[in-house]
Structure 1
Amino acid sequence: MGTVTSPSTPRRALLTLVLWAGFWILGLAVVAALAWVPIAESLYSGGLGWAGIFSAAGALTVLWALRPRWSFQKHQQDDVEYLSPERFPALHALVEDVAKRVGSRVPRKVYLADQTTAFITMQRRWLGLRREAIVGVGFPLFAILSREELAAVLAHEFGHHTGGDLTLGPWVYRTRSAIASAVDTLEDSAFFLDVPFRLYGQMFLRVSGAVSRQQELAADALSAKTCGADAAARALHKVHVLAPLWSAYLHHDVIPIIEKSVRVPLLDGFKTFLQEKTWRAEITHDIEEELRRPPSPWDSHPPFEERLSSLGHEGPREGEPLPLQEFEAGGCIDLLGGAAAAEEVFYEQKTRGSLVHLKWEELGEKILLPEISKHLTGGALDPRRTPLTSLPELLREGSTLWDRVRPPGLDILSPEAKRLRARQVLVQWLAAALVERGFVAELRPGMHLRLQHEGHFVEPASVVDWLSKGVWTDEQYRTWSSLIEQL
């Protein structure tokens, strides 16, 4: 089957070439205009004045800002581990099948990404004379999508290949980089030399963004034609809704644990994360910021609703439950050999060194609380010696408390930042103090550390927050702490 070429590819290529040339024409025009001033002074005034000197310096500055930035670093893709066809034959069979149905060259390398995304890129070899397609598939996609939906995602990415977008993309990227570098070099210069490049950059982003959005809609159309509009729409819906949740879970819960040389069950943890009714404030903020971000004319992708509409589907209604049917059923994780094998390859490729295997419910007792106790024991907030009733007074110390307990070294925090750090330390202290009184730590993905003892549950972060915001009075807290001491 031959390669399918989008009829709009020549127009895109021409527009990209015009925009690229326009930037360099603008740069050379600015240099020529500045250079003409000292030349004109020399020809018509018989000498070089201050205006000519400053203009010559400006011309040299712009030329320096427009210089090519060459990179001599070893291509990082040479060190990347890929999902081999010998180890994952079913995955490669699916990729090959979709590529042939779309009419694209079959890629031989498949990369496992850590986000809820997929991509196709070209790897240059032999001094750029040979180009090899590489497909990237996000680990969570295998858990939340069916095979048909993953095929639709792959067809979308192959659509960028057949549409010529991978050829145009580097031109757009290099032009954006050149504009950004020029603006960064010139923004502190005299005579506002960065202004024309900044204005051109805004226009370029707007126009190239519009071209990119057209490319996305064309790739969506090819995906629907190849795998069905229903599968393409379901995949788009799931990725749109679940991608911010996975990203928040990965960065706020999983990565900090991996940094402690510990590995946890990824998919079980994400399932628990999705079941929580409320998350920690920083997680909720990140998710809402991503989901509610307004469209921009500079966006590279069309709005979610527009993409669904182009596929003949409506967006989800307010309050509609998360699309988790495939996730509950295991998605197409069998393409990686099942959940256990998939997590094994994730940790193999995304981490270095040996990791301790722990369950989520073991983290609080075996990792977090020992670290907290080690840090606090023997200091100003020793959990064994500082009474529970002292929390209100400690909170009122604010930045002064941080100055008492902070680690040695240079401290450049503002008073407000010190107060926030002091509250975080008090949360840790309260947790350690409760453990000293027989409480057991419990950590759930997305939630604050919680401690329980004989059916009594305490969330130290909430207690400190209630006190600091006046939800609890000092007297109410002391009554509560007295009850805790009696347990």
Structure 2
Amino acid sequence: MAAVGFLLLFYAVALGVAGALLSLPYLLYTTHRFHALLTVLCLAGAGVLSWSLLPRRERFVPPGFRLTEAEHPRLFAAIRDVAQRMGTRMPDAVYLVEDVNAYVRQVGGVFGLGGRRVLSLGLGLLAVDNLSQWRAAVAHEFGHFQSGDTWLAGVLCATRSAMGRTLGGWRFFSWVPETFLRLTQALSREQELVADTWSVRLAGKRAHLSGLRWEALHAAAWRRFLAQEVLPLASRGVVPDNLFEGYRRYLASADWAEGLRELGATSERASCPYDSHPSLAERIAFAERLDVPEVPLDERPAYTLLSDAEALERRFTVQLWPRAVEFIPWSEAGAHWRTLWNETASRVQARVPDFSLARVSALVKDARAWDAFAEAIHPRLVGYRAPDRAERVREVVAHAVSAYLASILAEHGMVWRTSPGEPLRLECEGEPVDPAALVDGWLEGTLGLEVLERLRARLSVDAHAAWRLREEERTEALAPLAAVTVEREGDAVTVRAPFSRLGLPHCCALCGGDIASHVETRFHVGGVLRDDGDITIEVPVCQAHAHQPHKAFKVRHYEEASDLITLEVPTLEYARLIQRSNA
């Protein structure tokens, strides 16, 4: 009621302001005289305000691959069984999405009215749940239909959009949408608990609780799998042809076993006032308090509801990465990882020209040399002023040296081996070598460098061996992350660079001090540029300047066609820092 009351109050006030703007010219005309400019401004203001308040018809974009009952009769029979037992109607469309998740929406209407019911099922959810856990998840989502949550969500989303259009440019009124968001997100968390009640009643407390824990863990594991095993290859236009086959192999890997504790801790974080869902601990505690009869578990894999699941996985993988240059079997992934590591070795050799196998020993022993080496390899560390700088520097040094060492050893006869979730290893006559583990041991001081000497002697590698670079590899490795031009005009200092590739130094843009946060800030663009005349930049600021990010820059010029932006920056030193960090 508070949320709906706030909604009505907002519309009443906004329409009242629009009415006042319309009546002001008339009042002036009847009491004083006609004022043409004021009349035009008032009419324009009232028109813009009224236009901002108009509800928009939602444009539906399919979230994934649409499933049909003809292709997957067992799946639709199971969905229909849940719907009938809850007394609700079937969704109008069912889509397959990639996540370890499920969700429902009411799409195509205005203000939550009309439209169609849509159920989105994660292929990852089907891959990890048993049938009881899956039914619990679907019952939870249908609980949102039963409680009218999808209708109310449409009303609230339309109001948030109207608030954004109406008050977006007025900092003084930013508290209005923020207050509404806090109220409605609190409502959303309550709705999730009500939906959990349906889940427990239909599928049983054991299925609901085990599903909550299992799905939270796998949602984090799936993101980790994509980040570590797929995205680096996808950046080169190469994608394994069945992501879900790789994920199943990942779940049997050393990385999954070692990351269980870390991922479990991540899923237990407390909720904040802007979260749409209660924390996992709150949902578990709520379910534990419900007094319902237990339901027998059906531990058959939910995966069996799909027809020809492997073919579906391959089709879905292709749809997820439609622009991939090539789809490869997982058995060929090692060769492409080798190419990535070779590119890192080329970057090391090009940016630190005198580096060699002999200098590996000297570098890992001298922690004072790590900063300069890391900044040469990874310029974004130039000006990096954050508490985790030492950790980031060590990560860059460890990866660069591992790739350099592995590339040279592979060039002298060792063979690459890998699989999802396992480190990239080298092998010689059946004996495995993990270059990343070796380098970590040297950096931490837990391993001696005699291991390197034995490997070098065994493979007959020269002590001063260096990575061989072709000229085109050198040119590519030395190319700047973003070409930055610095100019000085009197007291003003400007930088010009490609906006989409430009990285700001990780320090306060106003004083160069330790960074506290990045503040998303809108800057007005000078000249004839974008339609809205604004551009958004995430400005790094320290604690003292946390409320002054708008003072950091002036956007002199920006053209979307060329992607070139010209920024006026505080000092020449900061401009040079931007140039170096994008070198």
The two structures share one fold, judged by TM-score above 0.5: yes
Q: Unpaired runs of 5+ in structure 1?
A: 1-13, 188-193, 315-324
Q: 1:101 to 1:36 in 2, by over 3 A?
A: same
Deviates most, 293-302 or 111-120: 293-302
- Offset at residue 91 of structure 1 (A): 0.9
Pick aligned residue for 2:333 from 344, 355, 363 = 363
Aligned to 1:442: 417
Cα contact 2:230–2:239 (8 A) shared by 1: no
Instruction: Using the TM superposition, give the Cα deviation of residue 465 of structure 1 relative to its aligned residue in structure 2, in angstroms.
Output: 3.9
Task: Please list, as runs of the form range in 1=range in 2, the aligned pairs for 1:217-232 lying within 5 A after superposition.
Answer: 217-232=193-208
Q: Is the 8 A contact 1:153 1:223 kept in 2?
A: yes
Aligned residue in 2 for 1:208: 184
Cα distance, 1:71 vs structure 2: 7.1
Give the alignment partner of residue 382 of structure 2, picking from 381, 395, 414.
Answer: 414
Task: Work out whether 1:18 is the aligned partner of 2:2.
Answer: no
Partner of 2:359: 390
Within 5 Å, which residues of 2 pair with 1:238-387? 238-259=214-235, 260-263=237-240, 265-276=242-253, 278=255, 287=263, 290-312=266-288, 331-337=301-307, 339-352=309-322, 355-359=326-330, 362-364=332-334, 366-373=335-342, 376=345, 380=349, 387=356
Q: 1:215 to 1:375 in 2, by over 3 A?
A: closer
Instruction: Give percent identity, aligned residues only.
Output: 25
Secondary structure of the residue aligned to 2:108 is strand
Aligned-pair distance for 1:228? Answer: 3.0
Residue aligned with 1:85, SS:
coil
CA distance in 2: counterparts of 1:448 and 1:368, whole angstroms: 11
Mapped pair 1:67 → 2:43: no
Q: After superposition, what is the alpha-carbon deviation per residue over 1:43-95, rounded to whole angstroms, capped at 9, x for unaligned? A: 99x9x9xxxx9xx99x9699769935887996423x95301211111111111
What is the CA-CA distance between 1:472 and the residue it aligns to? Answer: 5.6
Deviation per residue, 1:279-337 (Å, 9 max, x gap) = 699x78984674242222332222323323333379xxxxxxxxxx99xx872212122
Change (3 A) 1:436 1:64: farther
Aligned to 1:89: 73
Aligned residue number for residue 131 of structure 2: 147
Greater relative contact order (Cα 8 A, min sep 6): structure 1 or 2? 1
Verify: 1:76 aligned to 2:52, yes or no.
Answer: no
Matches within 5 A, 1:464-483: 464-467=439-442, 469-471=443-445, 476-477=448-449, 479-483=450-454
Conserved? CA contact 2:134–2:211, under 8 Å: yes
131, 146, 158: which one pairs with 2:115? 131
2:96 equivalent to 1:112: yes
In 1, Cα distance between equivalents of 2:204 and 2:244: 28
Please give the TM-score of this superposition, normalised by the length of structure 1: 0.72
Query: For residues 294 and 424 of structure 1, what CA distance do their matches in structure 2 show?
Result: 33
Distance 1:131 1:245 in 2: 35
- Any idea what SS the aligned residue of 1:121 has? strand
| Shift in Å, 1:144 | 1.7
Work out the CA distance in 2 between the residues paired with 1:140 and 1:405: 37
**Who is 1:102 aligned against?**
86
Distance 1:62 1:288 in 2: 52
Q: Which amino acid aligns with 1:349?
A: Q
> Aligned equivalents of 1:201 and 1:470: distance in 2?
50
2:174 counterpart SS class: helix
Report what 2:157 is aligned to: 173
* C-alpha RMSD over aligned residues: 4.7
Structure 2 segments unaligned to the other structure (5+ residues): 291-296, 459-583
CA shift for structure 1 position 389: 2.5
Give how far 1:168 is off. 0.3
Structure 1: distance between partners of 2:452 and 2:183: 62
* TM-score, with structure 2 as normaliser: 0.61
| Cα pair distance change 1:386/1:306, threshold 3 Å | closer
Q: Greater shift after overlay, 31-40 or 343-352?
A: 31-40
Alignment of 1:154-165 (within 5 A): 154-165=138-149
**Cα drift, residue 225 of structure 1:** 2.5
* Number of residue pairs aligned between Structure 1 and Structure 2: 433
2:478 corresponding residue in structure 1: none
User: Shift in Å at residue 139 of structure 1?
Assistant: 0.6
Residue 388 of structure 1 aligns with an amino acid whose one-letter code is L
- Counterpart CA distance in 1 for 2:185 and 2:110 is 32
User: 1:201, CA displacement in angstroms?
Assistant: 3.5
CA 1:485 to 1:37, structure 2 compared with 1: closer, same or farther past 3 Å? Answer: farther
> Structure 2: which amino acid aligns with 1:425?
A
CA distance in 1, matches of 2:102, 2:201: 19
**CA 1:379 to 1:445, structure 2 compared with 1: closer, same or farther past 3 Å?**
closer
Confirm or deny: 8 A CA contact 2:241 2:317 kept in the other structure. Answer: no
Higher helix share: 1
